[in-house]
Structure 1
Amino acid sequence: MSKSKRLIELMMTVNRMRKFTVKELADQFGVSPRTILRDLQELSELGVPLYSEVGPHGGYQVLKERVLPPIAFSEEEAVAMFFASHALRHYSSLPFEAESSAALQKFYYYMPGDVRDRIDQMKNRVDFLTHTRKQQSSFLGILLDAAVKQRVVTIEYETKRGLSKRSIQPVGIYASNGFWYCPAYCFMRENLRLFRCDRMHSAAYDNSGMKPLDHRHIHLGNWRSFGSEKLMYVRMSAALTREGVQRCEAELWPVPRIDVQPDGSGLLMQEVPASELPYFAKFFLGLGNEAVVTEPKELVDLIKKLLKELIRKYES
């Protein structure tokens, strides 16, 4: 095995093993311990963060801030990776904002000149737009970390009645329509709730000794089905124009079930929580002539009430 190939394989091996001895590596690669020591010295000079311990239980280990081994991308893969990361710039807040910016700059800098030229030519030809919001979500990092590590977080949350201090155990975070959301178990409500991240005024790991729940089986794809609060569902139907279909598919979450016709119009038919009818009333009112709600009657009445209030405002 050539030295260059051995160094690359050695870099991948030490990242995988994390802790090892010189003898273990020498036996695995079929070289002398002295050769392995020289190779480890070269890896250290290349930036691999190695730490050595002496004694009967000593050896080498890779520090937490490890350097990943090099990965060979094709030109098309490199361009795809660049624009996947480049698209994140439209979000005013990210859970790894500084890291993604640094990674993108490093990725771009080390590309061949002709690939950089190709990317420069494509920047104004392709984009992935999302709504840009003024509201900042400053605690995405701690929420994501708490979701992964199953930890409790104490937050100050903005409600209609003012700031509310509560302890939550996040399930995860997701972005929709320009906002960041955090489904979490709320210890005050003793139930899973959905929080808007930009409405959190503070967030810190809980230091009161509150024991986290075992929610490893709950994730973003199934959290709604684990709520202990029994929600009453009603059937919602609405006739949509072509533009109404596009607006509903783009703005409603989860993505609604719509029977789309050949001309682009459609019929929305879905079971929704009765508690969310006020939200849907405002949403469909905003669609104007692009939607006509047919059921439930409670939703139709809410839309009529909003229309009457709107007319009174403009007549006064």
Structure 2
Amino acid sequence: MRLLDARKKFTARELAERFDVSVRTIQRDLDYLQQLGFPLYTEVGANGGYRVLPNRILPPLQLTEHEAFGLFMMMEYLQQVPDFPYGSIRDQLSDHYFSSLPSDVQDRISGMSEHIAFLQNHSEQSEALTTQIINAAIEKKQIRFTYASRSGRKDVEAYPIGIYYEHGYWYMPAQKGERVLLYRLDRMQELAILHYTDTSVPTLKEWLTSTDDRERTEVTVRFTDFGTRLAQSDMHFKSVKDHEWKGQVPPEEFPFMARRLIAYGPEAEVVQPEPLRELVRELLEKSLDTYRPSIT
């Protein structure tokens, strides 16, 4: 089955020679695979042979009862991410597979779903956008989109590296010139895949494991008891120890870091460096300005 799926088109004689059996044996095996649901069809003529369907329907899953429970719990979890790539097939997959299960297993799964819930914040971005970006990243193609940044809306052309999901939002690192910039998908609109390609664009895995050679500054953040508990579930500060977090941070990341620290309110204090303390102070003052009474 793996060989047929890789070759896409072949003759019975080619397969017979590959496995050192008779053509008749291969034909019996192919008939048997078709009976199992493997998506083959026959082309007649001098250049004919067997071909796997272009948009092939793969053989059904054969799971144990325990594995079936796990599959449905995973699909239940993914329902909390409505913009999940290729997510439009989730309901179809769930209904199709669920209907094929024995009634007692169906009852067990239905009962389980009444006693488990996955609650988290998420964006309302379209699933089509995440799917388009992944396809463009795989093909190393450039995309064009409109982005709502803090300075206003702007048109962007860049090469997507991939996407990742964090704290209820999808993020897309993309190569623009010599730099890799980070975009939040819920701020993107009007995406179009262009014809330009660049095979030098890294994969997401390569980018995540690459060495960042930017100049860095040591940052120290002191947390309260409650702040420490919050930080331990935050991927940026989870290495906090004895109520302090220390790390080497590029100065370009200070604005982003200051905004993350604002969310901690009085539960976190920047000890050093002074430029980061100043950024946090400015953000706090802007927040206070919002609540000061207006003078008429």
- The residue aligned with 2:198 is 212
User: Cα distance, 1:137 vs. partner?
Assistant: 6.0
1:101 corresponds, among 69, 91, 99, to: 91
Conserved 8 A contact 2:124-2:186: no
Conserved 8 A contact 2:86-2:127: no
Mapped to 1, the partners of 2:121 and 2:194 lie a distance apart of: 33
C-alpha change, 1:246 and 1:221, in structure 2 (3 Å) is: farther
Conserved 8 A contact 1:137-1:198: no
1:301 corresponds, among 278, 284, 287, to: 278
* Counterpart amino acid of residue 67 in structure 1: I
- The residue aligned with 2:233 is 250
Query: Where does 1:213-228 land on structure 2 (aligned, <5 Å)?
Result: 213-216=199-202, 218-220=203-205, 222-223=207-208, 225=210
5+ long unaligned stretches in structure 2: none
Mapped to 2, the partners of 1:109 and 1:46 lie a distance apart of: 18
* Counterpart amino acid of residue 250 in structure 1: S
1:139 corresponds, among 129, 142, 147, to: 129
C-alpha change, 1:42 and 1:276, in structure 2 (3 Å) is: closer
User: Cα distance, 1:132 vs. partner?
Assistant: 2.6
Aligned residue-pair number: 292
C-alpha change, 1:282 and 1:233, in structure 2 (3 Å) is: same
User: Cα distance, 1:186 vs. partner?
Assistant: 1.5
C-alpha change, 1:14 and 1:138, in structure 2 (3 Å) is: closer
1:298 is paired with a residue whose SS is helix
Conserved 8 A contact 1:137-1:180: no
1:313 is paired with a residue whose SS is helix
User: Cα distance, 1:87 vs. partner?
Assistant: 0.6
1:288 corresponds, among 236, 255, 265, to: 265
2:141 corresponds, among 140, 148, 151, to: 151
Conserved 8 A contact 2:137-2:160: yes
Conserved 8 A contact 2:123-2:186: no
Mapped to 1, the partners of 2:9 and 2:237 lie a distance apart of: 50
Conserved 8 A contact 1:147-1:169: yes
Mapped to 1, the partners of 2:209 and 2:277 lie a distance apart of: 26
Which string of whole-angstrom CA distances, capped at 9 and with x for unpartnered residues, describes residues 193-233 of structure 1?
111112221222213xx3413235x3235347477xx6432
Conserved 8 A contact 1:257-1:270: no
Shifted more, 301-310 versus 94-103: the winner is 301-310
- The residue aligned with 1:200 is 188
Mapped to 2, the partners of 1:107 and 1:260 lie a distance apart of: 47
* Counterpart amino acid of residue 15 in structure 1: D
Report the RMSD for the aligned CA atoms in angstroms.
3.0
Conserved 8 A contact 2:232-2:240: no
Structure 1 residue 67 corresponds to structure 2 residue 57: yes
User: Cα distance, 1:17 vs. partner?
Assistant: 4.2
1:111 is paired with a residue whose SS is coil
Shifted more, 23-32 versus 163-172: the winner is 23-32
User: Cα distance, 1:57 vs. partner?
Assistant: 3.2
2:164 corresponds, among 161, 174, 191, to: 174
C-alpha change, 1:221 and 1:123, in structure 2 (3 Å) is: farther
C-alpha change, 1:42 and 1:257, in structure 2 (3 Å) is: closer
Q: TM-score, normalised by structure 2?
A: 0.83
1:77 corresponds, among 50, 67, 76, to: 67
Structure 1 residue 274 corresponds to structure 2 residue 251: yes
